[in-house]
Amino acid sequence: MESQVRGGTRWKRFAVVMVPSVLATAAVGVGLAQGALAASFSVSGQQFKVKADYLKGEGFAQYGGIDTVYKSADGEGGKKPVPVAISSFDTAEITKMCQSVATKVPLIGKTVYLRLDAGKEKPVTAKNLYIDVAQLDADARFEDIDIGVAVQNKSRGPAVKEGENVMKGGFAQQAREAHLYGVEQTAWATTAGTFTLNGLSMRLGMDPKMECY
């Protein structure tokens, strides 16, 4: 981590390591069994990839949480808790965004790729944006950052969603602004109050090169 520059902090190749996965999964598994944590809505058994040239977020917060995920894309085998880093923004602008997901289709015995592109000419915009991140690589700059804030005491970013599995006294970080360059991430879920995809293009195909990265 570099020194403070103009009131901000630069992190080269920022990687999310908010929740040690083995310990978090074990602890949350016990918590769910004992009823200490409420089960949130289930997300699919597939991660998806997101790539962007640039993301500018106003009112940023990030904290650990748990998603309830189907063990497989076909829904067989039940569900499991997985640790995620929840990145949230009051507002966000995303330039040249790509989103892709690969799904193996038993009927044809092949993998089909769905790809969305948007924000090439005019940025994608979002309000009250939450991203349940499994992995993130980017060059990052934060303005007025606080690291080590308890989740319930954070003062930036949208409120923790009702039903979200987070530990109130858990570790969080927040910033007035977040600037991410060269974003490559995998995620389990994205939700937003408003999500405007300017210049949206959607394609389906079986070429692995359709994935964003």
Give residue 209's Cα distance to chain centre: 23
Query: Residue 58 and residue 144: Cα distance in Å, rounded?
Result: 11
Higher pLDDT, residue 111 or 169: 111
Residue 86 lies in a domain: yes
pLDDT for position 81: 87
Q: Are 142 and 11 in contact (CB under 8 A)?
A: yes
Q: Provide the pLDDT for residue 192.
A: 93
pLDDT, tens digit (0-9, with 9 covering 90-100), for 57-80 = 999 999 998 888 888 877 788 888
Range with the lowest mean pLDDT among 30-39, 90-99, 107-116, 171-180? 30-39
pLDDT at residue 68, as a whole number: 87
Taking every pair of Cα atoms in the chain, the longest distance, rounded to a whole number of angstroms, is 56
Residue range 97-108, pLDDT digits in tens? 999 999 988 888
37 three-state secondary structure: coil
Percentage of the chain exceeding pLDDT 90 = 60
Exposed e or buried b for every residue in 103-113, given b needs 16+ CB within 10 A? eeeeeeeeeeb
Q: Do the domain assignments include residue 146?
A: yes
The reported pLDDT for the residue numbered 18 is 44
The verdict on residue 165 lying in a domain is: yes
Give the CA distances from residue 67 to residues 25, 43, 101, 158, 163, in Å, rounded to whole numbers and listed in that order: 10, 7, 18, 18, 11
| Domain span including residue 87 | 8-97+119-199
- Cα separation, 20 vs 35, in Å, equals 22
Residue 212 within any structural domain of the chain: no
pLDDT band at 24 (very low <50, low <70, confident <90, very high): very low
E strands along the chain, which residues?
8-15, 42-43, 48-70, 79-105, 110-118, 124-150, 171-191, 194-196, 201-205
The number of domains in the chain is: 1
For the segment 142-148, the average pLDDT, to the nearest whole number, is: 95
Residue 204 covered by a domain: no
The model carries a pTM of: 0.83
Pull the structure tokens for residue 66: 């748990």
